[in-house]
Amino acid sequence: MADEVQQLTRAFSGLGGLGVDEPAMVSALARWRGQPEKRSAFRKGFPGFFSSHGGDMDRREEEYMLHLAAEFARFRDLVVLWATHPWERDARLAHHVLHHHHHHPPAVVVEVACARSADELLGARRAYQALFHRSLEEDVAHRARDKPYCSLLVGLVSAYRYEGPRVDKEVAKAEAEALGAAVKRAGNGKLVENDEVLRILTTRSKPHLVQTFMYYKEMHGRHVEEDLRQRGEETLLETVLCLVAPAKYFSQVIWGRRRRTRKIKRKAL
pLDDT of 126-185, one tens digit each?
Answer: 999 999 999 999 999 999 999 999 999 999 999 999 999 999 999 999 999 999 999 999
Establish if 117 belongs to a structural domain: yes
The Cα 234–Cα 160 span in angstroms is 23
pLDDT at 80 over 60: yes
Buried b (16+ CB within 10 A) or exposed e, 4-15: ebebbeebbbbe
* 214 and 238 within one domain: yes
Residue 246 domain boundaries: 169-255
Is the C-alpha dihedral spanning 132, 136, 139, 143 positive or negative? Answer: positive
User: Residue 236 belongs to a domain with what CATH number?
Assistant: 1.10.220.10
* 242 and 197 within one domain: yes
* 224 and 186 within one domain: yes
Decide: pTM greater than 0.85. Answer: no
**Contact (CB, 8 A) for 13 and 46:** no
The beta-carbon contacts of 240-243 under 8 Å, at least 24 apart in sequence, are 240/201, 240/209, 240/213, 242/110, 242/111, 242/113, 242/114, 242/115, 243/114, 243/201, 243/206, 243/209
Over the stretch 110-132, which tens digit does the pLDDT of each residue have? 999 999 999 999 999 999 999 99
* 117 and 51 within one domain: no
pLDDT at 92 over 60: yes
| 58: β partners | 52
Domain stop point among 123, 158, 193: 158
* 184 and 198 within one domain: yes
The Cα 205–Cα 226 span in angstroms is 22
Domain stop point among 103, 128, 158: 158
Establish if 263 belongs to a structural domain: no
* 244 and 178 within one domain: yes
